[in-house]
Amino acid sequence: MTFEATPYPEINAVLHELHAGARAILGRQLVGFYLEGSLALGGFAPDRSDIDFVMVTDGECSVETFNELKTMHERIANGASKWARELEGSYISRRALRHDRQPAAHPNLERYSSLVMVRPETGYWIIHRHILREHGIALAGPPPRTLIDPVEPDDLRAAVLGILREWWRPMLVDGPLLRHGGYRRYAVLTMSRMLYTMRHGAITTKPIAATWAEETLDQRWVSLVRVALAPSTDAAPDLDATVAYIGYTCECAERSASSEK
């Protein structure tokens, strides 16, 4: 089996290698192999995006299976293609994928890292489930909509609020990651997408959300969003303005949550 799911032959080759390796280890336990994230949503940027995938399994992975998968991923990461190190995804059971708000620990891979057992934060998991259900690309297995219960708009809003409280609000006090220009760019685009979700109860790509923010939000945020959205990475969003934008997003989310009570 070969994949032509993306316009990038090198990425397709890595996906083929990943599927062949997982199928050899999991056998009939492998239910499906899916793309999500920017490749599924249509916002993929070759200079900054990763390859988000989900492997759905029929049951939890044993310790032995996890070790075999970890070895397989280390072998792929040592390949010649740069995309071999841009893989980011999870091995999740069909039962947990169906409706769990927070599944048990399961194998997870971050770009440039090794496979580890992770229990994801509730908010991120709900958003990933929604993107996979509504936009996921099935490379093998049944359509993702048949495996996942619908995620309601208010569930997405609640997920965004939780992520802001758990991850982003603490950065208003101490945010060492924000010292890096690339992370500030990511932060501004992420805040734009979170504001979009709070307003519309839906998930869209970072570029679409940033364009919406330019056209919709107060004028004071326009230049900040434009710098983050620019194709060139020569200029980074201003640190103080980025922190203010994070604070503004947190406040908007809190006000929205309060008004719904």
Quick check: 121 pLDDT over 70?
yes
Does pLDDT of 195 surpass 80? Answer: yes
Mean pLDDT to the nearest integer, 27-50: 92
All residues at 6 or more sequence positions from 168 whose CB lies less than 8 Å from its CB, including other chains: 187, 191, 246, 249, 250
Whether 233 shows a pLDDT value over 60: the answer reads yes
- 101-119 average pLDDT score: 91
pLDDT at 45: 85
For the record, the structure tokens of 65 come out as: 């299976």
Where are the domains positioned within the chain?
Answer: 9-146, 153-259
Question: Mean pLDDT over residues 188-203, rounded?
Answer: 96
For residue 80, count CB atoms less than 10 angstroms from its CB and return exposed for 0-12, middle for 13-18, buried for 19 or more: exposed
82 with 117: CB under 8 angstroms?
Answer: no
Which amino acid appears at position 133 of this protein? R
> pLDDT value at position 80?
92
Range with lowest mean pLDDT among 32-41, 84-93, 114-123? 114-123
pLDDT above 90 coverage of the chain, percent: 82
- Indicate the pLDDT class of residue 1, thresholds 50, 70 and 90: low
Q: Please write the tens of the pLDDT for every residue from 151-161.
A: 999 999 999 99
- For the chain, what is the mean pLDDT? 93
Return the pLDDT at 43: 85
Provide mean pLDDT across the span 196-201.
Answer: 96
Considering only the C-alpha atoms of the chain, give the largest distance between any 2 of them, rounded to a whole number of Å. 55
Instruction: Give the residue carrying structure tokens 């040592």.
Output: 78
Backbone angles phi, psi at 178, to 5 degrees: -70, -10
List, in order, residues 6 or more apart from 83 with CB less than 8 Å away: 8, 10, 11, 14, 51
Q: Span 9-146: which CATH code?
A: 3.30.460
Q: Which residues is 108 bridged to in the sheet?
A: 90, 116
% the chain with pLDDT above 70: 98
DSSP category for residue 176: G
pLDDT above 80 (res 260): no
Least Cα distance to 36 among 175, 133, 101 occurs for: 133
Split at pLDDT 50, 70, 90, the class of 192 is very high
**pLDDT for the residue numbered 47:** 83
Report angle CA 238, 228, 168 to the nearest 5 degrees. 70
Q: Is the pLDDT of residue 150 over 80?
A: yes
Read off the pLDDT band of 46 (50, 70, 90): confident
Q: Is the pLDDT of residue 107 over 60?
A: yes
Q: 247 pLDDT band (50/70/90 cuts)?
A: very high
**Rounded to a whole number, what is the distance in angstroms from the first to the last CA of the chain?**
51
Banded model confidence at residue 189, pLDDT cuts 50, 70, 90: very high
Q: Is 135 helix (H, G, I), strand (E, B) or coil?
A: helix
Structure token pair of residue 199: 């307003």
Please provide residue 167's backbone torsions phi and psi, each rounded to the nearest 5 degrees: -115, -50
**How many whole angstroms separate alpha carbon 19 and alpha carbon 13?**
10
Task: Give the H/E segment covering residue 56.
Answer: strand 51-57
